[in-house]
Amino acid sequence: MNYGEARKRFIDAWGTLGSSWGISRTEAQIHALLMVSPKALTTDDIMGQLGISRGNVSMGLKSLQDWGIVFKEFEPGERKKFYRTEKDVLKLATQVAKERRRREIEPIIDMLSEVGDVKDANVSKEQLEELNKMTAALSDFANQSDRVLSQFIKSEKGWFFKTMMKLFK
């Protein structure tokens, strides 16, 4: 396989994978392109290489910056903005974990604490017990997930993965 084919397959595969961690296919393709590019790229570079519109590139770059995984740069003597991404895979995974924790885990923990241990005379004891049992179980799971993510985010490079690999041996 030549460079162009391998690069395209990587960008397409990363685009598919991106949807599983909360970004659109196009955003993930932009991210993949930046990951495999040896230098920072402009909006025009990204448009040309991926064949997508300026609006999609702009929205994608904004979203990726919100995730904290794409950064804007200025080059001396250039008026255009350049974009790059983190290339350290562990730092990238840590940032995605931080954002997923903030966007997904923290809100569900807050919601479960609000709806936990309901007391309502207008419904049966059985209904209340089932609701309270499920919210307690989900709250335990969400809190355990939060602790694992927090440990991963705080861990030193490689420690978390080495520990996980020991568990799976």
H helices within the chain, ranges in order?
3-18, 25-36, 43-50, 54-67, 89-100, 106-115, 125-154, 159-167
Does the structure show a pLDDT above 80 at 117? Answer: no
Q: How confident is the model at residue 161 (pLDDT cuts 50, 70, 90)?
A: low
- The pTM of the full predicted model, rounded to 2 decimals, is 0.79
What range does the domain containing 63 cover?
3-85
Same domain, 131 and 104: yes
Same domain, 67 and 107: no
In total, how many domains does the chain have? 2
Same domain, 151 and 163: yes
Radius of gyration of the chain measured on its C-alpha atoms: 21
Nearest alpha carbon to residue 15 among 40, 51, 66, 44: 51
Same domain, 133 and 93: yes
Does the structure show a pLDDT above 90 at 89? Answer: no
What Å distances lie between residue 35 and 41, 59, 162, CA to CA? 11, 18, 25
Same domain, 146 and 101: yes
Same domain, 120 and 160: yes
d(CA 41, CA 31): 11
Same domain, 70 and 135: no
Chain segment 43-82, per-residue pLDDT in tens:
999 999 999 999 999 999 999 999 999 999 988 888 999 9
Same domain, 75 and 130: no
Does the structure show a pLDDT above 90 at 164? Answer: no
